[in-house]
Structure 1
Amino acid sequence: MRTSALAIDDDGLIVAANSAARRLLGRSLAELVGQDSHDLLHRDEHGHTMPRTRCPMREALLTGSTKHGDAGWFARGDDTLVRLSWLVTPYSPDTKEPGALVLLYEPTPAKRPRHDEGPPEPLTELDRLTLLAETTTQLTSTLDVDEALHRLAALTVPRLADWAVVDLLTDRDEVRRALVMELEDGILIEREDLQGPMPPVPEESPMPLSRALRGAASSLAGPSTYQGEPDSGIAVEQHRLFTETGMHSAAIAPIRGLRDVLGALTLGRAQRRDVFTAADLPLLEDLTRRAGLALDNARLYQRQRKVAETMQRHLLPQLPTVPGLEMTAKYVPAPHASSVGGDWYDAFALTPTTHALAIGDVVGHDLDAAAGMAQVRNMLRAFAWSQPTAVPSAVVKQLDEAVMHIAEVPMVTMIFARIALGDDQLWRLSWTNAGHPPPLLVTHDGQAHYLADSHGILLGSGAGRPRPDIVTVLPPRATLLFYTDGLVETRHHSIDRGLDRLRRHAASLAHRPVSSFCDSLLHAVRPDDNDDDVAMLALRTPALT
């Protein structure tokens, strides 16, 4: 193939690359094969590795679908970035597991108007309707404010202008120049040097941007508009904008939400010789009206996430200090839910020498699951505290009865344990498992195995079967990991595969500090297509003195 092509397996690892791809990416075959294609190559516009959950190429691989991108940034072997269009399509070499074929090619540059050419043809009515329909589709399909702004710029440049500038009002009525995009050699370039905080909106200024940010009607502007003595700091910044960009004509319209003014959109022309006229303003207002609704939804979603994150932080407990033990906990919300869920952990003192440990998962990953989780955790604390010497299965049995008759939760999996230091200076774990993935014990010399002896029925089933109690002696300098199924489960592979990956990676990290141990496991093991939250509780025993 003359087109640059990479073949990747179902884990995203490169298995083949043709000579065109090697030349385009400036890498040898040995530097490509066996590497994760996303981590090695795909970047955002700033040169940073793109988050996997936001990568459309990864989404195409995981869903087995065909997707195309007009332009993305890719890292070459010499650490430079190259902007390429891409196509990902399902591909299964020989009889191996399904993977994908990735084609990379230089995007076709948009035709840049020449100064000696006449003005471009005005948009027809069909063109206008098509643009408005595309704006609605593009902006309402994302709940990320930055992504929506970039899509708005891509829709308007170069169809309507050479420059797109978005100024946003914050919750405190402060102004931020959130995006400045220009068309350069057919490619949209973000001008970060022109972005950033702006002076406050003056109450009486007649200048176009100030009026737009107060919600007034759209208007036209040019360099001469801001040539005189500035009446405000915003006027100074607008004069700088026209000087830096070379815009000779601009149209400015407010971006209105359902209740408030959210900001303003400025479209400017520098390369195009034709100027904006009053006839262009109705189309601009239609665009900003759609943008305002999309930004309103995105901001509401972000506020809800912030509230949910605050709620989750208050629901999850602070870990106690246990002399002699290192202990840490991690919680990662579901990427596509409300940032809260039914996964939880807990650790608290039962007696001066004994502590309780718990990890669990209430079915679901939404606000209802989070509320149910809080119920279950609080009842467990009460039952365990009232019976500090009871075996774990007795406490869990009492909790199971409460879940059946009191709590508003469907089903719960959990592990409950008591840990104490013995006379031989070894830590002993007395525990029971109610339908939860087994704990993982990693010794200091890198041996890892699951504690699968105490597996009982989950809570809320009504089966009434007894759950066994197991006592495990923890070796010195060993790491014990409790986790929820979001760490190992995926829609495309069995849980056995996830458990095997967790065991192998945990063994390789046996010497890491316990917090770094958990962070590295989350990065290496958590499935990319995971749509569940993850809770982890890890502890490490000390060396014998």
Structure 2
Amino acid sequence: MTYSPESGSPHGHEDVPPVPQLTDEHLDRLEQGLRQAARVPGRAQELLNAVLEVSKELQLDAVLRRITDTACELVQARCGALGVLGDAERFSEVITSGFAAGGRSATGDGVPHGAGPLAALLDDRRPLHTRSHGGSGDPGDPAGAAGSTGSTGERLRTPTLLGVPIKVRDALYGNLYLAGKTTGESFTSEDEDLLVALAGAAGVAIENARLYQQVRQATEEFQRRLLPQMPDLDGMELQARYQPSTEAPRIGGDWYDLIHLPDRVPCLMLGDVMGHGIAAATVMSQISNMLRVIAFDEQEPPSRILHRLDSVLHELHGGPMATVIIARLEPEGTGRRLQWASAGHLPPLLIGPDRQARYPTAETGLPLGVDPDLPRYDHEEVMQPGTTVLLHTDGLVEHRTWPIDEGMQQAAAVAATLATEPLTELCDKLLTHREGFFHDDVAILAARLTP
């Protein structure tokens, strides 16, 4: 989930939602399922592979899709569906696999409910195994409504049906049911045992995904309250984004800020504290607040502000490691003069109205916390109306399979194609061009000079 700062509350006093604690107690249910499968000669390895498949994902929708597809493969079913139970014991969603229209998700009144085998699983909550079954067209018939291809109203007719309930912490979550074997035979009792065991693993995977989602939401909310709102500035459009790592929900040390200095010059600031967790977030808060005060009080070039910040951090806090970039946007003619300095941080991405995007070649220095006596350097660029300066943390361009220079080239290429698009779209596309996957947290702060 991406955060836009318009609704941020940097000084809010609301209670931060508690972060759920992950436990291992549900592994007992998985172990029971594996033991049950071990009684099926020669097929325990098949189940183990299936369990590994459904455990690969952490996003809930991907988990549900993986469960449905894997179940079909495990027992050689032609098609299958996972009905997710909603309010009032009605199915809020059905995830399908193997139907003519392809896997799809249905919601609302068109989802099967009422009578039929699917409803029988709700009532009895035990495995359902029929040797012969034909689609009746009844809305509650999984071989009918759930197998519909949509506008054609086609109904699948199949000679055999196998269904099992899926429970999460002993509460019914939904039903998994499969129709028709690819071999033309009926489902066997061994197939039923395997599907029951897989359903146990599916419950664990669903619970993990739910907990992951809760932790991620709590993490984002905590981080959001540490970030500022964007001020309104004449002649300038502002956008900011924060997106946590998609690998694991964790509080990070990425931050951004923008202040209007007493000389009426906007000052953009962005940084990344080494590490993750509460400690990194605490240091991040200290650095951002201290930098705001120093920048506001001294009104000096960015290099001097960074030098002063490094010295104070060294004296008061033992010199925590962090990268920081500061940029002043001073009026010059019809545009602005960008004066910036970096402490080990990536240079700004400059995006012109001529659809050219580049990172200036410049000395970025070492991070804060290495040596407070290190020299810092100022750099300058002239920005014409329509030009965008975009600061970001390295999470936007880092990837384990390519060097960071390649990631920067990709980001610049994407930005160039969006140079004249709304700034909000440019920021969003920079996050989505990697299909929303990031190994590290990402913070973005962008300013565009309005014509």
TM-score between the two structures when normalised by the length of structure 1:
0.60
Inter-partner Cα distance in structure 2 for 1:448 and 1:279: 60
The alpha-carbon deviation at position 358 of structure 1 amounts to 0.6
Distance 1:348 1:160, change over 3 A: same
Task: Say yes or no: does 1:483 pair with 2:398.
Answer: no
Alignment match, 2:322 = 412
Q: Please state whether the residue corresponding to 1:166 is helix, strand or coil.
A: strand
Moved more, 458-467 or 402-411: 402-411
Matches within 5 A, 1:392-411: 392-401=302-311, 403-404=313-314, 410-411=320-321
Question: For residues 465 and 212 of structure 1, do their structure 2 counterparts lie closer, same or farther at Cα, with a shift above 3 Å needed?
Answer: same
**CA apart distance, 1:325:** 1.5
CA distance in 2: counterparts of 1:291 and 1:445, whole angstroms = 52
Among candidates 217, 222, 244, match of residue 155 of structure 2: 244
CA distance in 2, matches of 1:529, 1:237: 35
SS in 2 for 1:292: helix
Gaps of 5+ in 1: 1-122
Structure 2's unaligned 5+ residue stretches are: 1-37, 148-153
Q: How does 1:364-383 map to 2 (within 5 A)?
A: 364=275, 369-370=280-281, 372-383=283-294
2:231 to 296, 300, 320: 320
Query: Closer, same or farther in 2 for the Cα pair 1:420/1:191, shift >3 Å?
Result: closer
Q: Sequence identity of aligned pairs in percent?
A: 32
Q: Deviation at 1:286? A: 1.9
Matched, 1:329 2:240: yes
CA separation of 1:250 and 1:409: change in aligned 2, threshold 3 A: farther
Shift in Å at residue 177 of structure 1? 3.8
Equivalent residue, structure 2, for 1:74:
none
Give me the TM-score of the superposition, normalised by structure 2: 0.71
Which amino acid is the alignment partner of residue 256 of structure 2?
Y
Q: Deviations over 1:473-531 (max 9, x none)?
A: 5444433232333344444555455556666665676544444444565667x699963
Distance 1:380 1:162, change over 3 A: same
Which residue, 343, 346, 357 being the options, matches 1:434?
A: 343
Secondary structure at 2:225 match in 1? helix
Contact 2:319 2:370 in 1 (8 A): no
Q: Structure 1 pair 178/377, CA: closer, same or farther in 2 (3 Å)?
A: farther
2:267 aligned with 1:356, yes or no? Answer: yes
- More RCO (CA 8 Å, sep 6+): 2
Match of 1:137 in 2: 52
Tell me by how many angstroms 1:322 deviates: 0.8
**Deviations 1:168-222, CA, capped at 9 Å, x for gaps:** 23589652342233477xxxx6364x843469999xx997644644683323458
Distance 1:222 1:125, change over 3 A: closer
Q: What do you get for the CA RMSD once the two structures are aligned?
A: 4.5
Which residue type is aligned with residue 190 of structure 1?
G
- In structure 1, what is the equivalent of residue 79 of structure 2? 163
Equivalent positions of 1:26-45 (< 5 A) are none
- Three-state SS of the structure 2 residue aligned to 1:267 is strand
Is the partner of 2:370 in helix, strand or coil? coil
Structure 1 residue aligned with 2:13: none
In structure 2, the residue matched to 1:536 is 444
Give the conservation status (yes or no) of the 8 Å contact 1:337–1:365. no
The answer to whether the 8 A contact 1:363-1:412 is kept is: yes
1:261 is aligned, of 172, 178, 199, to 172
| 1:75-133 superposed Cα distances (whole Å, 9 cap, x missing partner) | xxxxxxxxxxxxxxxxxxxxxxxxxxxxxxxxxxxxxxxxxxxxxxxx99324323322
Partner of 1:180: 96
Q: 1:287 aligns with which of 166, 186, 198?
A: 198
Deviation at 1:296, TM superposition (A): 1.7
Matched letter for residue 535 of structure 1: A
> What amino acid sits opposite 2:225 in the alignment?
H
Query: Which protein shows a greater Rg?
Result: 1
User: Take 1:259 and 1:247, find their aligned partners in 2: how far apart are those partners?
Assistant: 31
Local SS of the residue matching 1:245: coil
> 2: CA distance between counterparts of 1:191 and 1:448?
40
**Is 1:168–1:177's contact at 8 Å kept on the other side of the alignment?**
yes
- Give how far 1:166 is off: 1.2
Measure, in 2, the Cα distance between the counterparts of 1:381 and 1:141: 43
Is the 1:223–1:239 Cα contact (8 Å) retained in structure 2? no
CA distance in 1, matches of 2:53, 2:209: 13
Q: Deviations over 1:285-329 (max 9, x none)?
A: 222112212222222223322333333443333321110122323
